[in-house]
Amino acid sequence: MGLAQLLARAHALAGRGPRQLLGVTGAPGAGKSTLAERLVAALGPAARLVPMDGFHLAQAELRRLGRADRKGAPDTFDGYGFVALLRRLREAPPETVYAPTFRRDLEEPVAGAIAVPPSVRLVVTEGNYLLLPQAPWDAVRPLLDEAWFLDADARLRRDRLVARHVEFGRAPGPARAWVRDSDEPNAALIAPTAARADLVFRLA
């Protein structure tokens, strides 16, 4: 499926009336962030991107919990906080809603970094676990007006992930090990959730 088709579908969703929520999910390295950014850029001020990654637990908390070596797994996020934010965004309150972002250069979430004013008609959220059927993630799907699952060739995904980890400071060997031991188990967990999506596709 091409970007133009996806953009037309997102544009139609934004025009349905009250604020709509679109979720873009898929395995690590599938290209979710890039696609979501391009959609929002094309739609302009009527759309805003609110990534799930803003709800990563802080590095200090991951160390306290003994989960730092599994960063990116479902229990290394504040899933309940993410659900609460989606509910507030869906209500479209008369004030600006602020959402967190994730800084890869810091490996930390940053609060209040994304402003969603009342004029925004389409909120695009992207992340790995939008369609996961276990709590608290199971509360996400009912809050989304549409959910898209972006599929990608497994080798391409892994190559992208290794390159990303190297870009942000890991040596190639440890980067490949992280992909094998962390990213790929998460990908296997996410794959069956495609059945809960409204649209499953690969980018042409």
User: pLDDT at position 11, please?
Assistant: 95
User: pLDDT at position 17, please?
Assistant: 78
User: pLDDT at position 168, please?
Assistant: 80
What CATH code is carried by the domain that includes residue 191? 3.40.50.300
H/E stretch holding 201? strand 199-201
H/E stretch holding 115? strand 108-116
pLDDT tens profile 148-203? 999 998 898 899 889 988 888 889 888 898 888 888 999 999 999 999 999 999 98
How many domains, the chain?
A: 1
DSSP letter, residue 56: B
Residue 13 CA: distances (Å) to CA of 47, 49, 88:
11, 15, 19
pLDDT tens profile 69-118? 899 999 999 999 999 999 999 999 999 999 999 998 888 999 999 999 99
Which residues make Cβ contacts (< 8 Å) with residue 183, sequence separation at least 6? Answer: 28, 29, 72, 158, 161
Task: Please check the confidence at residue 204 and state whether its pLDDT lies above 80.
Answer: no
User: pLDDT at position 38, please?
Assistant: 96
Tell me the H-state helices in the chain.
Answer: 3-14, 32-43, 59-65, 79-91, 154-167, 172-178, 184-190
Q: Identify the domain containing residue 46 by its residue range.
A: 3-201
User: pLDDT at position 118, please?
Assistant: 97
| Percent over 90 (pLDDT), the chain | 80
Residue 31, Cβ neighbours under 10 Å: how many?
A: 20
Please state the rounded mean pLDDT for residues 2-10. Answer: 95
Give dist(CA 150, CA 38) in Å, integer. Answer: 14
Burial of 50 (0-12, 13-18, 19+ CB in 10 A): buried
Task: Please check the confidence at residue 65 and state whether its pLDDT lies above 80.
Answer: yes
Q: Find the helix packing angle between 3-14 and 32-43, rounded to 10°.
A: 60
Q: What is the mean pLDDT of the chain?
A: 94
CA triplet 11, 17, 19: central angle to 5 degrees? 80
User: CA gyration radius for the chain?
Assistant: 16
pLDDT tens profile 23-41? 999 999 999 999 999 999 9
pLDDT tens profile 108-159? 999 999 999 999 999 999 999 999 999 999 999 999 999 999 999 889 889 9
How sure is the predictor about 15, in pLDDT bands with cuts at 50, 70 and 90?
very high
